[in-house]
Amino acid sequence: MENNKTHILQLTNEQLLERFQTEDKEIYFDELFKRYIPLLYGLCLKFLKNSEEAKNAVMEIYEEASTNRSLYIIKNFHDWLYTIAKNHCLHEMRKSNSRRFAELVDDKVNFEKEFTLFDGNRSSEEEKALSVCLKKLNEKQRKCLEYFYHDHKSYAEIVVMTGNTLAKVKSYIITGRRILERCMVKELKKTEKEDCEQQ
């Protein structure tokens, strides 16, 4: 059983989705969903503005996704999960008659950036840009980003692994991600310009 669990942890998100759809085993779906929990919590917190409500929403989204997963052919897991999460949060906001609903801004672009930063859904140009830009981060920022997005570690786990405070870990992740995204935009524009000049 331990070997099987280790094997599952080594699978990419795409492989987990493929295994689940071909073998219909809950363990693949659960592992895939678990990897998105930090980002789901962040999204729910952004909508609901309450940590306890956000935690409850993540659990409810899991139940909803588990119930509906067999009804669809899921081609893009993070898009599918985003739709479920967003609709759930909107429903909760409507129920509470929140004023925030009228002020809601669709954060789909930012959400998708976070979901795809390290999940392998990148073009060769994006892959190259990511490699270049990761080297421009300081070591603490790079390590925290990789632990959080690539290894799917929680804030608490990263605190233990790095010896940094929780505030520092959050700062390294937020600042590092901002620097990384700006750098990648510049690198991709540079690549696009080079391609145009060669044509």
DSSP labels, 137-169: S-HHHHHHHIIIIIS---HHHHHHHH---HHHH
Residues contacting 154, CB < 8 A, separation 6+: 38
CATH 1.10.1740 applies to domain 2-116: yes
- Provide the residue ranges of all domains of the chain, joining segments of one domain with +: 2-116, 124-198
Report the distance separating Cα 118 and Cα 135, nearest Å. 15
Report the distance separating Cα 46 and Cα 108, nearest Å. 12
Helices (H) and strands (E) in the chain, counts: 10, 0
Reported as a single tens digit per residue, the pLDDT across 131-163 is 888 889 999 999 988 888 777 777 777 888 888
pLDDT of amino acid 109: 41
CATH 1.10.10.10 applies to domain 124-198: yes
124-198 shares the fold of 2-116 = no
| Mean local confidence (pLDDT), 175-189 | 85
Rounded to two decimals, the pTM is: 0.51
Reported as a single tens digit per residue, the pLDDT across 70-88 is 666 788 888 888 889 988 9
